[in-house]
Structure formats: structure tokens, C-alpha cells
Amino acid sequence: MYDLVFSILSALLRSKLMRRHHNTWEEAQLLVDWIISDTAMGTVFKEIGCDDYKTLLANIRSGYDRSITAESKSIYEQLEIGRVQTEFYVLSGEVLYKGKKISNLTFGEKCILTALIENKEAVVTYEDIASLVLQKDEAFSLYSISKRIQRLRDKLDSGGIGKHHIQTVRGVGFQLR
């Protein structure tokens, strides 16, 4: 029962919170855990005899029952909700991939990657990238933007992440996959 409620709430809330409010995965997950355990919903679970809920973050931190991630993915696929991408995220101003800080980025590359992470479902246009990285007196240059993306991809690749995560949307910009 908890798994079903957890999956539905996560699917409904997590991606919207992360995209709209720039929350991290953990912050969005805290809300789901709180709803299940500490609201009227938690009281209902206790009344029907389901009072053994362990929050996902507590389970992850303690190493307890890591299979919940695989179970969640399976439930998302069965419900055809799709996968919520959580490999890249920003926490306290740092860009992380699978929990590890990506440290070899220039300020401009970090700005571009942060914009891509914060707009996972959308395309970050060439103009958006230009406004992030070009100086006020610099003229817009599609070549300059493309070279910056190429260097960012190369750094991700050399760091073992792979360059395939940043997809070109021809004539528009780039998207994180």
C-alpha cells in the first residue's frame, strides 16, 4: 500500500517541485515522506494497521532496503508515468551527477549545465545560453555557444559521465537527457 501511494505522490509532486521551485530531489522527497507519515494520510494508515512506514531518505541514508529504487522504477514504468531523471541535480550551488560533485567546470560551463538541469523538460535556447555566458560587450555568436557546449560535453565525457546527456535541438538550443 505504501509503495503505491509513494509512487503516485512522487510522480505527481517530485518533477513539478524540482522544475518549478528549483528543489533538489531530496527536498521534494521530504515532502512526499512527510505527506505519507505525518499528515491525515499517516493517521489513516495507522488506523488500518499500516504503521511501519520508513521514509525513503531514512532508508537510503541507513542503507536499508535499497531495492525500493528498483521497485519505484518498476511501478513508474507500469503506470507509464515515465522516468524522473535524477542523475544530474544542483545542491547548494554545486552541480552533481549521481551524488558526486562535478568539479572541473568553468563558471560559464557550470551556468550552462545548471540551466540545463533546471529546465530538464524544456530546451534551453541559444539566446538563453548567450545571456548566461556572454559578456555585455560581446556579440552573440552561435559558434561561441557551440564551442562552449562542445567543451562541456568533452569535460563530462572525460569525467566518466558521457557526452550524450546534452542533446542538440537543431536551430533552437540544447536539452539535457
Domain assignment present for residue 92? The answer is no
- 31 with 50: CB under 8 angstroms? no
Residues 73, 8: one domain?
Answer: yes
Asked whether the whole model's pTM tops 0.85, one would answer: no
Domain assignment present for residue 86? The answer is no
Residues 103, 172: one domain?
Answer: yes
Structure-block grid coordinates of residue 48: 488500518
Residues 69, 103: one domain?
Answer: no
Q: Within a 10 A sphere around the Cβ of 87, how many other Cβ atoms?
A: 13
H or E stretch covering 73: helix 67-78
Q: Are strands 173-176 and 166-169 parallel, antiparallel or unpaired?
A: antiparallel
**165, 166, 169, 175: CA torsion to nearest 10:** 90
Number of compact structural domains in the chain? 2
Domain assignment present for residue 91? The answer is no
Domain assignment present for residue 141? The answer is yes
Residues 73, 103: one domain?
Answer: no
CA distances from 92 to 89, 120, 168 (A): 10, 18, 28
Percent of the chain with pLDDT strictly greater than 90: 23
pLDDT digits (tens, 9 = 90+) for 7-59: 677 777 666 666 776 666 667 677 777 777 777 777 777 777 766 666 665 65
Domain assignment present for residue 122? The answer is yes
Domain assignment present for residue 85? The answer is no
Q: 40: domain range?
A: 2-78
Give the whole-angstrom CA distance, residue 7 versus residue 82: 12
**Which of 78, 107, 141 is the last residue before a domain boundary?**
78
Residues 53, 119: one domain?
Answer: no
Domain assignment present for residue 87? The answer is no
pLDDT band at 72 (very low <50, low <70, confident <90, very high): low
Tell me, what CATH number does 125's domain have?
1.10.10.10
pLDDT band at 152 (very low <50, low <70, confident <90, very high): very high
